Structure formats: structure tokens, C-alpha cells
Amino acid sequence: MAQRDAPPEVQARAQELRDQLHYHNYRYYVLDDPVISDQEFDRLLQELSKLEAAYPGLVTPDSPTQRVGAAPLDKFDTAPHRVPMLSLENAFSDGEAREFEDRLKRFLRIMEETFDYVVEPKMDGVAVELVYEQGRLLVGSTRGDGYRGENVTQNLKTIHTIPLALLSRDLPAPDLLEVRGEVYMDLGDFKKLNDERLARGEPAFANPRNAAAGSLRQLDPAITAARPLKIFCYGIGLVEGRSFATHWDVLQALKTWGLRINPLIDRRRGIEEAIRYHRDLEHQRHGLPYEIDGVVIKVNDLALQERLGAKARSPRWALAYKFAATQATTRVKDIMVNVGRTGAVTPMAVMEPVQVGGVTVSRATLHNEDEVARKDVRVGDTVLIQRAGDVIPEVVKVIVEDRPAGAQPFQMPRACPVCGTPLVRPPGEAVTRCPNPDCRGSLRRAILHFAGKSAMDIDGLGEKIIDQLMDQGLVEGIADLYRLTEADLTLLERFAEKSAGNLIDSIEKSKKPSLARFIYALGIRYVGEATAQLLAQHFHAFEALRTAGEDELLTIEGIGPQVAKGIRDFFDSARNQELLDNLLMVISIKPPAKPAVSPLAGKTFVFTGGLSRLSREEAKAQVTARGGKVSSSVSAKTDYVVAGADPGSKYAKARDLGVTILDEDAFEELLNKV
Ligand code: IVH
């Protein structure tokens, strides 16, 4: 079909929509301060998609519709950096930081004066370069060897905090801009991602940096798109059509162009002030949602930077002042086991309290029986432990040379430390469990999880109160929470009337959860927050999830066999049935907001034959991204068969059954209807 050019008013409207969408994307993802609702945003995006579908010539590479959906690559091209991406010289002590300033003075022959510095958190992620020409993102690449990296443009485009086009409302965008920044993953997102990977039987990433690097180096951008990556920009390589006096000015300009700058970046006069910033940030470090491994101190004056220049691998005008390692050694006093909400029994090292990265720790998880055996941790051992962000510290290794004579290998207890029931460990599983559904250890954890902030959010229902409620026999199951009265609570030790009233209020308030929260609150094995969201989006109604078979669960992108089985097992248990019946008598789940509906939502597709413009993987991803399902065989339940070149027997079967058959063009047209 010949392509028609869009009439001028349509072209103008498309441009206007693109500008608005870029701006609102920036408000939402970069400033975290949206000025329109999600629905309005979706409406604008839909309007643009429709125009682009009608006039494909309107699609520009920087169109907000182009964030996802690029085809997988065979390999990455190399991308040269016009200005090399250098690394930084490290310092590990205040003394070394002072030497840095002394070197600056000697080099510049400035003896009395001191310097203005820009001080920045040193992000622990992956360095990237973004090249904007005439304000549009053209190429994005990794650092590589500093001179040439990998062209990962289509992956970077999936990151919402990376603008596809620079904003030029307040400051015209330069002709050429090479921006540098760090792509990273928030700790919370990292943990969620790992939980989901483990649930699917995939290996966990060792740390957020590896997760970010691995996600960025995917040949299929659909995978990168599903990973929660973010960026902070911290400098430029080259800029044409604009000049700056200071690094601080550069950062301010980047901000006005819509690039995301870490709000903790600041200015300090003199090295002592910069050292103080380092100390302050080291204290704040573990409260941050992402990992940083130090502070970067940069000479602010660009003329001075120019004069200072660079050594072989690092500029003379910057220093990475690293934080002390978050590892420490201590002694294991005991190895205890904890009973989790699903009955999982986890060994835990109880240690002499030790400072690690600014906090005192006295416990470290040992994960499971095999892990204890692999690391051979014994009571009395000296161990190296580490903290990764805010997660529970873990034992890295035993210092075997320091092992006291007679230290015995750890043995998993045979019986549950809470209820005494013999523990079980199914063949092929790493986890040991207490099989007693009435185990108070599991119940206690289950209630704690149910009441948690991301679950039913029952404010004020903490461990101590749960223990008291259970001890008094007031709560023997989750549903009992909703039978509590103020009078019951005032019977508890140290429970004032006011706090009793508050707790009853928060229990009352929790009666109208969203579907996703409710699902998450149930504590179904392998169902974390993200999976609960997926389930809520797919099923809309709780009953539909409750009765869904494993087959249906498996059609949901992101849910594998293990998770599907976990869900089915949960709903098949008679005691859970009873719990749900009781809960649903008092709880009314808020129906989920209807997402922008694509005509593909809920429809089942079968592919046969080769498509010329899309890989099979991409075509499938496009369908599932719009809420559709892909099946491998044609049946009366099939809504569409997409037939490419040389279709197989599925084509004939579809025809016999009267299933709608789409050719590639018709399929793409359908996809474009949002
Ligand atoms: S400036 C020439 N600033 O650290 C100066 N780097 O060891 C180049 N990094 O590859 C880097 N946060 O990935 C700079 N605020 C920051 C940074 C930062 C993290 C990383 C960057 C670089 C590495 C250098």
C-alpha cells in the first residue's frame, strides 16, 4: 500500500503531541511530579499512536510511541566515544583526599587559594553515553574500553528516565550533546526482580550493579524494557552550540533539558568541606534507595579542568573518594533457625555485634541447609559478612584458619523449633519446611506479612502485639483480626484505650484493599508484589484468580510453572479456602482501574508461518504486552490465527474452525490500534 503523507494540520498535531508527551514523561519520571493524570497521558499517547498508525510516515525515532518494540539484535554494534570515557582515581582516606587538593595546587601553581568543588554521589551502576543531535537521542552506548563501547540505543530507549528528545522550553537544546551518566537499579526493585527470578528457577543477580549491567546488555529490548532501570546523569563529553563556565552550570543545563540529575549533588568550597560531604553521605548511604560506593569530587571551574587535563586513564580534576567497605569480620555465637510465613525454616547466624557500613549487625542469613553446608559455617567460627544496601547481611565466607578446635558442623534440626513437628525437605528443593499448618511460628509470620505496609497496611500491628494476641488466644488465624474489638485489646498488657482505638481503626481501614494488595497479603508462595500486580491485571476479579487453572496462569507473561503451581496449591488447600471464605465476608476488594484497553486484550493468538517484519518472539511479546495471549495450537477458543509465509497445518485447522485469519499487514494494523 502506498504511504500517504499526513496533511499539514495532522503533522502539526503529531508534533504537538510528541512535545507534550516528552514534557509529561519528564514531569512523571524525572521530576516525579506529574501535572496530568495517567489517563490523560494515555489519551495523548493513544491519539499519537492513532495518527502514526494512519500515517506511518509520521513516526519519528524519538516519538514517545517508540520506547519499546524494537526487534531483537544478533549482536551489538560498536559505538566509538568521540571524547574518551575515562575512569577516576580513587582515594580511601581523608589524607588521600587532601593529597588530591595538594596535587591540584602544585599542578596549577596555586598555593594559597582553595577550590570550588562539585560533590556527587558515586553511583554503583553502569556508565553510559547518550548522544543527542538536534535535541534527539541518536545513539546510546556503554563505556566499553573507554574509547569504544557497545551500541545499546534500543535498550536505553526503554528507560523512562532517559528523554528521547531534550526539552527546549527554557533553554534551546544544543546542536550536539554527549551526556554521560550511570544506569542503575533501585535496591527495592532489585530485590523484587531477584525474588521473581528465584521463583521462576532462574539464578539471582549478585548485586544491583550486575542486574543493571545484565539488563542493559540484552539483545532483546523487550527484556530490558521489563527491568526497572533508571539513570542519573553526571556530566558531558562534548557539547556543540553552547558553552559553560562551570561543571555546576553544565548540570543545571542538563536538568533543564530534561535529564535526570541526582538531587544530592552539591557544591563545596575547599577539600575539608568536600570531606565533610563524604562523611555525611556515608551516614545517609544506607537510607538511600540505591547503592553508592563513594563520593566523586570534581573541580567546578571548567577552565581549570581544561588546564588540568587528564593522565592516561583518569582526569586530574576529579577524584573518587570511596566509602569504607561494607564487609566486616565477626564471630558466630550461635546458629538459629527461623520459621517463615510459608513454613520455610531458615538458618540464621547469631554473631557478636559488629559495625558494617555504619550500622550494627548481629544476625546474618544463611539461606538454607545447603548454603550452610557449602560455606561450612560453624558455631565459634570467625566469618566475613557483608551488607548489600538495606538487605539482611549475609555470610560471605568462614575464616577457616581461625576455627576453634572442636567446632562442629551445623545440623539442621529435625523438628520445628516452634511447634515440634518433624521438618520436611522435599527432594529437589533447597528449603526445609515445617509442614504443620497450625504452626504458630508460621502463623505469626503470616499475620505480620498480611498486615505489612505493602500488603493490607494495618498500621500499628507489629510483632509484639501479634505475639500478645496469639498468647491470649484472641487470634488463631488471620481472619480473627477482623473480629477484634477495642475491649479485647484493652485487655492486653500496656495497651492504652487510645492505641486500641487506633489499631481497630487501621484494621477497619484495611477492609477495602486493591486486588493486588490483597493477593500479595495472602502470602502465597512465590507471589511477591510484582507477581501480585500481574495477577490483578490479568484477572481483575479475585474469584477468577481463585479458580484459575495452572494452564491459564501459565499464559501470563512473567509467571512460570513453579509460581503457577504455588498459586494453585494455595487455593486448593481446604484451610486456605476456609480462610478466604471468612475474609471475603468482611473484606471488599476494590475493583482495579481499567487499563487502556487494546482490542487484543483477552484474545488468544496462534502464529503459523514466518513473518517478514517481526520475529516470532517480538510478535508474541507485542501480543502479550497488549493483554493478549499466545497459544501454540488452534482450537475453538482461538480468536486469531496470524499466518505468515508458508503457514502450516494450523492454517487449515483455523479455516475449518472458522477462526479469523490475519496476514502480517492485518496483524500489524491490529497491533497499532494501541
Ligand atoms: S565522572 C572523567 N561522576 O565511576 C570522569 N563518574 O570510576 C568520569 N560514576 O565510569 C566519571 N558516579 O561509571 C562520574 N557522579 C559520578 C559518577 C561516576 C558513578 C562511575 C562512572 C565511571 C566510574 C569511574
Grid coordinates representing 658? Answer: 472458522
By the 10 Å C-beta count (0-12 exposed, 13-18 middle, 19+ buried), 12 is classed as: exposed
Strand 266-269 with 116-123, pairing: antiparallel
Q: How far is the CA of 165 from the centre of ligand 1 (A)?
A: 24
* Average pLDDT rounded to a whole number, residues 397-410: 94
Assess whether pLDDT exceeds 70 at residue 1.
no
473-517 confidence digits (pLDDT tens): 889 899 999 999 888 888 787 777 788 889 999 999 999 999 999
Which range is least confidently modeled, 102-106, 120-124, 298-302, 386-390? 386-390
* Average pLDDT rounded to a whole number, residues 192-205: 81
CB of residue 118 inside a 6 A radius of ligand 1: no
Query: What value, to the nearest 5°, has the Cα angle with vertex 222 and ends 217 and 227?
Result: 65
CB 129 within 8 A of CB 149: yes
CB of residue 227 inside a 6 A radius of ligand 1: no
Strand 126-133 with 136-142, pairing: antiparallel
Q: How far is the CA of 657 from the centre of ligand 1 (A)?
A: 60
CB of residue 318 inside a 6 A radius of ligand 1: yes
CA distance 476 to 491: 17
Helix (H) or strand (E) holding 230: strand 229-240
Q: How far is the CA of 318 from the centre of ligand 1 (A)?
A: 9
CB of residue 127 inside a 6 A radius of ligand 1: yes
DSSP label at residue 528: -
* Average pLDDT rounded to a whole number, residues 253-273: 96
Q: How confident is the model at residue 358 (pLDDT cuts 50, 70, 90)?
A: low
The closest of 97, 86, 30 to 295, measured between CA atoms, is 97
Grid coordinates representing 373? Answer: 553446608
* Average pLDDT rounded to a whole number, residues 145-169: 93
4-48 confidence digits (pLDDT tens): 788 999 999 999 999 999 999 999 988 888 999 989 999 999 999
Q: How confident is the model at residue 2 (pLDDT cuts 50, 70, 90)?
A: low
Q: What is the largest CA-CA distance in the chain?
A: 90
The closest of 417, 416, 407 to 377, measured between CA atoms, is 407
CB atoms within 10 A of CB 462: 12
Q: Closest residue (by CA) to atom 17 of ligand 1?
A: 122
Q: Closest residue (by CA) to atom 13 of ligand 1?
A: 127
- At 328 the pLDDT is 87
- At 596 the pLDDT is 61
CB of residue 234 inside a 6 A radius of ligand 1: yes
Catalytic residue among 122, 157, 322, 650: 122
CB of residue 291 inside a 6 A radius of ligand 1: no
Specify whether 673 is catalytic. no
**83, 85, 87, 88: residue to mutate for ligand 1 pocket, most atoms within 8 A of CB:** 88
**Alpha-carbon distances, residue 670 vs 399, 638, 651 (angstroms):** 62, 16, 19
Q: How far is the CA of 233 from the centre of ligand 1 (A)?
A: 10
Assess whether pLDDT exceeds 50 at residue 224.
yes
Query: What value, to the nearest 5°, has the Cα angle with vertex 522 and ends 516 and 527?
Result: 65
CB atoms within 10 A of CB 557: 16
* Average pLDDT rounded to a whole number, residues 266-281: 97
Question: Helices (H) and strands (E) in the chain — how many of each?
Answer: 24, 21
Q: What is the DSSP string of 416-476?
A: -TTT-PBPB--TT-S-EE---TT-HHHHHHHHHHHHSTTTT--TT--HHHHHHHHHTTS-S
CA atoms within 13 A on the CB side of 531: 30
**123, 124, 267: residue to mutate for ligand 1 pocket, most atoms within 8 A of CB:** 123
Assess whether pLDDT exceeds 60 at residue 390.
no
- At 674 the pLDDT is 62
The closest of 226, 262, 265, 257 to 26, measured between CA atoms, is 257
Q: How far is the CA of 608 from the centre of ligand 1 (A)?
A: 48
CB of residue 181 inside a 6 A radius of ligand 1: no
CB of residue 122 inside a 6 A radius of ligand 1: yes
Strand order in the sheet with 660-662: 629-631, 604-608, 640-643, 660-662
Q: What is the DSSP string of 271-336?
A: HHHHHHHHHHHHHHGGGSSS-EEEEEEEE-BHHHHHHH-B-SSSBTTEEEEEPPPSEEEEEEEEEE
Q: How far is the CA of 236 from the centre of ligand 1 (A)?
A: 11
CB atoms within 10 A of CB 213: 17
